[in-house]
């Protein structure tokens, strides 16, 4: 890594600290100033003023909000994410880490399927530009992308599970064959976006002079496509892949709810409804950190791949 990129990385990491502090403060205040608190939800119809006061003292909700925030940050710096009020006597880490692993496994498989299909489909459409196959290919996938997930999932469950009997709807783990249908339902709608970006990138690169030069040298078409066309056309996909990384861990709310999958999306909804302050904060901070670091990783990847970025970073450092 050059000195320019190293300095750029340090600056970006330093900027990430105030960004995450600001996010934590805004979410913390938003949760505290909404009507009600976790104790109200926890007790429900069994609400008793004396018991509620004891629980608020136990969780620290009886203290001033600035004091609560400072204590939260102090615990956070020590690796303590807090305690879940919905899952009584369980720490936030014990609650969310298993859910993150489930959503991450599904998300990784969905990204592999989405990009594995989207990139070759985009290349195919670009190479067929001017024929009916180009709009037909992209339009077909856009049609699939336009149908809401909560509409597709029940129909897919009815067709593939109840009618054809190809899959079982019971959740057996992220590496169980039953997970194939949820993964496809998550990944296939995103194929259209990947294909469109890849198609546009291919078309842009196809007009470059170095491709005509490569062909004039007598290189085989396969060599021209793989070594020159694809290599440069894939550069914009780095940004798309980088921005997709936080979504790997975000979960898929409707898919998880309808298939009974214990993932992050489902846990986040339940934590919001239960006003489980520490769980909501942990999930928001986790997602924000992923988004920030994914952007940094994308910039660094461009720096390694494209020499022009390294030169620009070196000038900024200098």
d(CA 92, CA 84): 5
According to the model, what pLDDT value does residue 314 have? Answer: 47
Is residue 116 pLDDT above 70, yes or no?
Answer: yes
d(CA 3, CA 154): 54
Of 242, 264, 240, nearest to 252 (Cα)? 264
Residues forming beta bridges with residue 91, ordered by sequence position: 83
Tell me the percentage of the chain whose pLDDT exceeds 90: 12
- Domain ranges within the chain, ordered by starting residue: 3-77, 97-273
According to the model, what pLDDT value does residue 35 have? Answer: 79
> Please, which residues have CB within 8 angstroms of residue 283's CB and are 6 or more apart in sequence?
96, 264, 267, 268, 271
pTM across the whole model: 0.79
DSSP string, 258-276: HHT---HHHHHHHHHHTT-
Can you tell me the mean pLDDT for 301-316? 55
Fold adopted by 97-273: MetI-like fold (1.10.3720)
Q: What is the pLDDT of residues 248-300, one digit of tens each?
A: 776 677 888 888 888 888 888 888 888 888 899 999 888 888 888 888 887 77
According to the model, what pLDDT value does residue 305 have? Answer: 62
Can you tell me the mean pLDDT for 156-176? 84
According to the model, what pLDDT value does residue 311 have? Answer: 43
According to the model, what pLDDT value does residue 113 have? Answer: 92
Q: What is the pLDDT of residues 62-71, one digit of tens each?
A: 889 899 999 9
Q: What is the pLDDT of residues 204-238, one digit of tens each?
A: 887 777 777 877 887 777 777 777 777 778 777 87
Tell me the percentage of the chain whose pLDDT exceeds 70: 92
- The secondary structure element, H or E, covering residue 82 is none
According to the model, what pLDDT value does residue 208 have? Answer: 75
Is residue 198 pLDDT above 60, yes or no?
Answer: yes
């Amino acid at each position: 890594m050059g000195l320019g990129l190293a300095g750029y990385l340090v600056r970006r990491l330093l900027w990430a600290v105030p960004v995450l502090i600001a996010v934590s403060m805004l979410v913390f205040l938003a949760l505290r100033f909404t009507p009600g608190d976790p104790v109200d939800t926890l007790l429900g119809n069994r609400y008793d003023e004396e018991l509620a006061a004891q629980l608020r003292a136990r969780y620290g909700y009886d203290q001033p909000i600035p004091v609560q925030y400072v204590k939260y940050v102090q615990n956070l710096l020590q690796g303590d994410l807090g305690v879940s009020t919905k899952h009584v006597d369980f720490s936030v880490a014990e609650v969310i880490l298993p859910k993150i692993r489930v959503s991450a496994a599904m998300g990784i498989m969905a990204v592999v399927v989405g990009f594995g299909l989207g990139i070759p489909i985009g290349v195919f459409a670009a190479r067929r530009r001017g024929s009916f196959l180009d709009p037909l290919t992209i339009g077909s996938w856009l049609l699939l992308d336009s149908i809401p997930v909560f509409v597709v999932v029940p129909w897919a469950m009815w067709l593939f599970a109840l009618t054809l009997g190809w899959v079982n709807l019971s959740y057996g783990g992220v590496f169980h064959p039953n997970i194939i249908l949820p993964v496809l339902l998550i990944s296939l709608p995103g194929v259209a976006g990947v294909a469109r970006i890849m198609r546009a990138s291919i078309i842009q690169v196809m007009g470059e002079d170095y491709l005509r030069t490569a062909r004039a040298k007598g290189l085989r078409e396969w060599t021209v496509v793989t070594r020159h066309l694809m290599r440069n056309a894939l550069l914009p996909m780095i940004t798309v892949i980088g921005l997709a990384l936080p979504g790997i861990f975000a979960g898929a709310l409707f898919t998880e709810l309808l298939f009974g999958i214990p993932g992050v999306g489902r846990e986040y909804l339940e934590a919001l409804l239960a006003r489980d302050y520490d769980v909501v904060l942990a999930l928001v901070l986790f997602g924000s950190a992923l988004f920030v670091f994914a952007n940094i990783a994308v910039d660094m990847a461009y720096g390694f791949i494209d020499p022009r970025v390294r030169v620009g970073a070196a000038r900024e450092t200098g």
